[in-house]
Amino acid sequence: MNTQKTNNESSPSGGVGGGLVIIDYGAGNVKSVQFALERLGYEAVCTNDAEVIRAADKVIFPGVGEAQSAMIEIKKFGLDKVIPNLKQPVLGICLGMQLMCRFSEENNTDCLNIFPIDVLKFDEQLKVPQIGWNVINHLEGDLFDGVKNDSYVYYVHSYYVPVNENAIALTDYGVQYAGAIHKDNFYACQFHPEKSSDIGEQILKNFIDLS
C-alpha cells in the first residue's frame, strides 16, 4: 500500500512504505477526508488496524462528535496506546486535535496527552458551536507553506485549544485560540481542511509532502 496518485503517478513519499492511512474509529468525517484526498489524486486507507496504522507513511486522525464517546471507541480498538507512540507524521483534525490533548472539558474526558494542554469550552455568551468560515493567522511551519495569513478555513466546534507554546496558527472567536498545533511528528488543526476549499487542499498537500 503506497501513498500514491490515483492515476498511478509516483508517491510523494517515494513510493516506499505503508502509504497514507486515515484512522477509522467511527468518526463521522472519515469518509469526507478520504474523498478530499481522492480529489487531490491520492489514495488513502481507512482502518482501525493497529499494525496498518503503525506501518503507514502518514497518518490522519480525524473526528467529529463528542470527546468521551470518541475516547471509548479509541480505547476499544487499543488505539489509545498506538496513536501517542507513532513516529511518522500524524495530522489530527477537529475532534482529532482535541483528543490529542491531555484533557477536554467536554464531559471531563481524559484524552491522549500528546500535547500537555486542556481543551476548554467556549464562553456561554458566544454562539456555539462556531460553524462556518473564520481566518487563521500567525502561521508557522511547513504545514502552512503557500498559505497566507488571514486565509479563511471552515470550523465546526464548541470547544477549543487555548493559545500555547505548540500553536502554529491562531484564530479569534470571542477569544483567541490555537487553530493549529505542532509538536515533534504530531500536527493538528481545529478547522476542517477537507471542507476548506483551496486553502484546505494546500494544507493537506503540505502534510502529505512532509518528510
Active-site pick, 101, 106, 111, 194: 194
φ, ψ of residue 137 in degrees (nearest 5):
-145, -175
What amino acid is encoded at 27 in this protein?
A
Question: Which is nearest to 92 in space by CA: 28, 32, 181?
Answer: 181
CA torsion, points 23, 131, 148, 59, in degrees to nearest 10? Answer: 0
Widest Cα–Cα separation across the chain: 51
Calculate the alpha carbon distances from 192 to 10, 32, 163, 201 in Å: 27, 10, 19, 10
Mark whether 106 is an active-site residue.
Answer: no
Mode of pairing for the β-strands spanning 20-23 and 176-183: unpaired
Cell numbers at 184, concatenated: 515533534
What amino acid is encoded at 20 in this protein?
L
Active-site pick, 66, 140, 192, 201: 192
Active-site pick, 94, 101, 111, 189: 94
Mark whether 94 is an active-site residue.
Answer: yes
Calculate the alpha carbon distances from 2 to 30, 57, 208 in Å: 19, 8, 12
Catalytic sites, residue numbers: 94, 192, 194
